[in-house]
């Protein structure tokens, strides 16, 4: 069974709940597109779609379908095609005719595969709802986890898992995310409620909260929603599901996604698919966790499995940057240490997926009590330098052709691979060290908000955006910055991923920094760096440097010279 002690038992789905009248009323049907198929299932030994259906299923859905066909351990689910989101937008929020019925049919089949019941009080099936455009847009759209939990089903999850703390932790996560994404409540309001509760009860870390604490926090979050949104958190699983699907469709048009598409030339009329997938749980103790792996180093291109792992956590914990993860191997809380078999299996799967898709892969995964599940695999973001090395080494290994290697490494990428770096022999006053998340170096004035970065950049000032961690709301600041620094987060956090995609030098997880955007300062011990002071970021070394450092232009890497010879048709 899929979820071992959590989701298991009878596969009887005869009691599936019909769609509530409130849901139907809230999402009026649109005229049908004759014979339109809206839903494609995957998992349970196969898939109805395949990897070539990017336009229909988006990158996430097409990748999951292809991996299911390969026998990779993906949790089962189904993908709603991008055309549904286009018609949802055209119809001012209505679902196209036939969509809801097809979702219900797919949900019934998912219940049978998972051996659990969506909305069931004894053995509840929980799902995630994720966006997925045909082009990668990391962090620009929304995701909702643990969907299907209510006051009734959370008790069933607690009893089935034997872990009430885990169950109520999942519930409070859902209420916060659903309240933010679907009901429009600011995330900071939930954060304030949690901090107030911890202060009242003398607690400092989330790990200190018991099952009773999380239950009380969940109740406080429900009160927050009713007060801020003027409506309650829904206690019907199907109401949650269809409202979440609508919210995922709407996230295609949010301000940060629109800005990202404008910069990267992604058409507005593509729309996004939505994938509904059975939950697996990384927050089930020390033999569980979540992570992101790369089949090759995205900064250097070296052919080695690398990435990050966060024990006893769910996926949003690692990409948000709120917690700094550790490595996949070699540390006490690494994946190799807590689940050695899963670590070995991840290495085999990464190699297989790289060869199958013909490119370096970025793999999101969850380990539930030692068992590995792959949630997504896509072509990974990489620095220009890494891109050249990856392309040439893959051609030499026979994974791709030389012609394809030349095509992948376009002229802008080659130019960027020769961009200036900080002179390694020049004096430097290093005030903080972090993870070398994106290579290159740049000097500019420190700024602590994205709006200030935009204002100064418009005046021609080179700015370094310094944040506790970045979020999708910082994309406009990152777009105008010459470099990025975060105090929290790892090499696969939002800041790192977006900076690599933009070719920005970036240092993340500089934990000795204390960044205070409200005060416009960051501190390191007794040293205070104020807004407007000059700093240098060396993304290759992971250094944050006070003042400026001379830049030099490095010699072209051998991989660049080799690629140029291939492009000219000379040499071997």
Residue-wise pLDDT tens digits, 253-307 = 888 888 778 877 889 899 999 999 999 999 888 899 999 999 999 988 999 999 9
Cα Dmax for the chain: 72
pLDDT of residue 27: 41
Q: What is d(CA 141, CA 67) in angstroms, rounded to the nearest whole number?
A: 23
Q: What is d(CA 83, CA 60) in angstroms, rounded to the nearest whole number?
A: 15
Q: Tell me the DSSP string of 28-73.
A: PEEPP-TT---EEEE-SS-BSS-TT-HHHHHHHHHHHHHHHHHT--
pLDDT of residue 569: 73
pTM score of the predicted model: 0.75
Where the chain has pLDDT below 50, the residues are 1, 3-33, 570-572
- Token digits of residue 542: 């992971």
pLDDT of residue 381: 85
Sign of the four-CA dihedral 366, 369, 372, 375 = negative
pLDDT of residue 321: 57
pLDDT of residue 563: 83
Beta strands 514-516 and 521-524, pairing class = antiparallel
- Token digits of residue 63: 């990748």
pLDDT of residue 264: 78
């Amino acid at each position: 069974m899929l979820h071992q002690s959590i989701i298991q038992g009878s596969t009887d789905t005869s009691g599936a709940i019909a769609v509530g009248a409130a849901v139907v009323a809230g999402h009026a049907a649109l005229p049908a597109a004759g014979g339109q198929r809206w839903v494609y299932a995957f998992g349970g030994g196969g898939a109805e779609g395949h990897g070539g259906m990017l336009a229909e299923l988006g990158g996430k859905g097409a990748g999951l379908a292809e991996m299911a066909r390969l026998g990779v351990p993906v949790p089962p689910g189904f993908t709603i095609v991008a055309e549904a989101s286009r018609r949802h937008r055209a119809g001012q929020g209505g679902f196209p005719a036939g969509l809801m019925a097809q979702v219900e049919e797919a949900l019934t089949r998912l219940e049978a595969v998972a051996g659990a019941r969506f909305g069931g009080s004894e053995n509840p099936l929980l799902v995630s709802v994720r966006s997925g455009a045909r082009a990668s847009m990391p962090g620009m759209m929304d995701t909702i986890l643990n969907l299907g939990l209510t006051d009734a089903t959370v008790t069933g999850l607690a009893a089935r898992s034997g872990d009430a703390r885990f169950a109520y932790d999942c519930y409070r996560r859902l209420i916060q995310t659903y309240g933010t994404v679907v009901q429009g409540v600011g995330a900071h309001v939930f954060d304030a409620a949690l901090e107030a509760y911890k202060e009242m009860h003398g607690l400092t870390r989330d790990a200190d909260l018991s099952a009773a604490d999380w239950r009380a926090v969940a109740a406080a979050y429900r009160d927050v929603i009713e007060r801020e949104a003027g409506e309650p958190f829904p206690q019907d699983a199907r109401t949650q599901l269809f409202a979440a699907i609508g919210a995922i469709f709407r996230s295609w048009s949010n301000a940060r996604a629109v800005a990202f598409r404008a910069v990267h030339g992604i058409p507005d009329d593509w729309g996004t698919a939505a994938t509904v997938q059975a939950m697996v749980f990384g927050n089930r103790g020390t033999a569980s966790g979540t992570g992101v792996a790369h089949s090759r180093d995205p900064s250097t291109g070296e052919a080695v499995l690398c990435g990050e792992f966060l024990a006893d956590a769910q996926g949003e914990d690692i990409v948000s940057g709120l917690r700094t993860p550790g490595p996949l191997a070699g540390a006490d809380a690494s994946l190799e240490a807590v689940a050695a078999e899963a670590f070995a299996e991840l290495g085999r799967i990464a190699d297989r997926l790289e060869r199958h898709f013909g490119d370096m892969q970025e793999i999101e995964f969850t380990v539930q009590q030692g068992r590995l599940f792959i949630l997504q695999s896509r072509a990974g973001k990489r620095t220009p330098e890494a891109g050249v090395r990856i392309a040439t080494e893959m051609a030499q290994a026979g994974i791709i052709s030389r012609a394809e290697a030349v095509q992948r490494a376009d002229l802008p990428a080659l130019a960027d691979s020769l961009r200036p770096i900080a002179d390694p022999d020049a004096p430097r006053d290093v005030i903080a060290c972090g993870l070398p998340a994106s290579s290159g170096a740049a000097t500019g004035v420190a700024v602590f908000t994205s709006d200030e970065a935009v204002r100064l950049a418009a005046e021609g000032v080179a700015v370094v955006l310094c944040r506790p961690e970045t979020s999708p709301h910082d994309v406009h600041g990152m777009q105008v910055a010459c470099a990025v620094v975060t105090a929290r987060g790892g090499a696969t956090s939002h800041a790192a991923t977006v900076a690599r995609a933009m070719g920005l030098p970036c240092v993340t997880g500089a934990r000795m920094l204390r960044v205070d955007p409200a005060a416009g300062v960051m501190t390191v011990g007794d040293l205070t760096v104020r807004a407007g002071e000059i700093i240098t970021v060396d993304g290759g070394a992971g250094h944050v440097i006070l003042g400026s450092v001379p830049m030099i232009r490095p010699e072209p890497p051998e991989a660049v010279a080799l690629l140029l010879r291939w492009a000219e048709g000379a040499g071997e």
